[in-house]
Homo-oligomer: A and B are copies of this chain.
Amino acid sequence: MSIAVIYGSTRENGNTEELTEIAIHGLNVEKIKLRDYSVQPIHDQRHAENGFTPVLDDYDSLVERMMKHDILIFATPVYWYSMSGLMKNFIDRWSQTMRDPKFPDFKEQLGQKKAFVIAVGGDTPHIKGLPLIQQFNYVFQFMGITFEGYVLGTARKPGDIINDQLAFSLATEMNLKLKEV
């Protein structure tokens, strides 16, 4: 099973990435750090006569990289109680890819993948991050992706995540599960 991590964080080595390191320890993963690429917000042309206008950014190449893997880990900071805009833009564009002849089986292929979510925030994410988890669940459900598990970590300042013993324990469990699947 091959693994891709899609990072929505905007800081290098932030808490989200640090927690994710626990989950992927000892595993060979492809890291897709969205902040290093240009991904335009979707322009909804689902119902336009000529469909979507091709966008000249890095999105397609990121999708290609993502699609090569069996397991996807979505690792995002919790910004304002949901995923970062960086990650939202990436996922919004899936609507375009679903209609893109270059990716004829996008939904079918995604539907065979397994997904995990790692989200780290400062304001009681184990409660206020639950709507985010529910949304990821709806996204995965729509695509047919199996939602294998999630960790909500608490951290405010850089390095804070180290104090969230529970998150570390959950990330360690995720690591074990990743080695099994």
- Per the bound structure, the CA–CA distance linking A88 and B85 in Å amounts to 5
Contact A127 B123 (CB under 8 A): no
Q: Which of A43, A157, A166 has the most CB of B within 10 A?
A: A166
A147 CB to nearest B CB, Å: 7
The segment from A19-27, A103-111, A137-145 that touches chain B is: A137-145
User: Is the beta-carbon distance between A130 and B128 smaller than 8 angstroms?
Assistant: no
For chain A, the bracket of interface size reads 35 or more
- CB neighbours (8 Å) of A81 from chain B are 134-135, 138-139
Task: Judge whether A131 and B134 touch: CB under 8 Å.
Answer: yes
For A89, what are the chain B residues with a Cβ–Cβ distance below 8 Å? 41, 85, 88-89
User: Would A127 and B133 be within 8 Å (CB), given that A14-B44, A41-B10, A84-B41 are in contact?
Assistant: yes
| Chain B hits for A11, CB < 8 A | 44-45, 47
Contact B169 A135 (CB under 8 A): no
Given the complex of chains A and B, what is the CA–CA distance between A82 and B14 in angstroms?
24
Chain B residue at smallest Cβ distance from A147:
B127
Residues from 28 to 50 in A contacting B, C-beta threshold 8 Å? 35, 41-45, 47
Residues of A that sit less than 8 Å from B by CB? 9-11, 14, 35, 41-45, 47, 77, 79-86, 88-89, 91-92, 94-95, 123, 126-128, 130-135, 137-139, 142, 147, 149-150, 157-158, 165-166, 169-170, 172-173, 176-177
